[in-house]
Amino acid sequence: MRTDRRPARHSVAGFSLIEALAATVLMGMVLTALATVTAQWLPNWNRGFNRTQRAEMLDIAIERLVADLAAAEFIPSNRKTTRPLFEGTELGVTFVRSAFGPNTRPGLEIVRIAETADRQGSALVRARMPFVPAATSTEQAHFADPVVLLRAPYRVSFSYAGQDRVWKNTWLEAPQLPSAVRLTIRDATTERTLSVSTAAVIHTQLPARCAAGKERRGCGRTARNDAESAASDAGESDSKSPRSQ
């Protein structure tokens, strides 16, 4: 008796053309839905990320401004004057402080923080230069190493207060340093004052000679006399001006 030892043939399973087309259509629908959701979600994510990044840069800029202004020192521009080198306006401030940071030499430096304009709009720029006693004003000084602290839409305005705690828009040719500098942060598009506005307290208002033991007692009185004499000189100059006559 002979037996048939041929291997049995098994049917091979697979997808028909209609099933492949249906799977392709379903995959296309899924990808379209994902693209729609991503198109709606990605712009919102970008706006949120940019908003967070601007807020962090704003915080860093404010911390840098407060630290710089707090370190201002009572340094006259030359030996011919006893007034400190401090020029404060509404859109900028120039002062002397100890050099600090990488690639800086020990000593004093003049720091100017002012608003400038470039192709990207207005920007608050910090520049510095080594302090050298001179009779010329800071308008002729050559500042270097500019660093952008803040850009639009944010704008910073400065105001200054002395011991009388009265805020002024300028602080020029004063016999003392201001006690505090207020930083008002505004949104340039809406002109809204932001809640992050703050003030920097200057730790020094008197010259270094006031720390000496012999002059410590009368230093404050001398400073007050200097302030009164400066105020009287300003009053006399105003009375002699043609406008007052």
Helix (H) or strand (E) holding 234: helix 216-240
Share of the chain above pLDDT 70, in %: 73
Whose tokens are 């400066």? That residue is: 230
- pLDDT of 209 higher than 50: yes
Mean pLDDT of the 222-229 span: 46
- Distance set, CA 72 to CA 147, 203, 236 (Å): 18, 8, 31
Q: pLDDT band for position 229 (50/70/90)?
A: very low
pLDDT in tens, 35-61: 887 777 677 767 776 777 888 888 899
Q: How far is CA 143 from the centre of its chain?
A: 18
User: Residue 184 in 3-state DSSP?
Assistant: strand
How far apart (Å, rounded) are the C-alpha atoms in residues 60 and 72? Answer: 19
Q: What is the pLDDT of residue 77?
A: 85
Whose tokens are 């911390």? That residue is: 63
- pLDDT of 69 higher than 80: yes
How far apart (Å, rounded) are the C-alpha atoms in residues 219 and 91? Answer: 32
Mean pLDDT of the 123-145 span: 80
Provide the token pair at 237. 């100059």
- The answer to whether the Cα torsion of 145, 149, 154, 155 is positive or negative is negative
Q: What is the pLDDT of residue 208?
A: 63
Mean pLDDT of the 144-148 span: 90
The domain ranges of the chain are 57-205
Residue 38 bridge partners (DSSP): none
0.85 exceeded by pTM: no
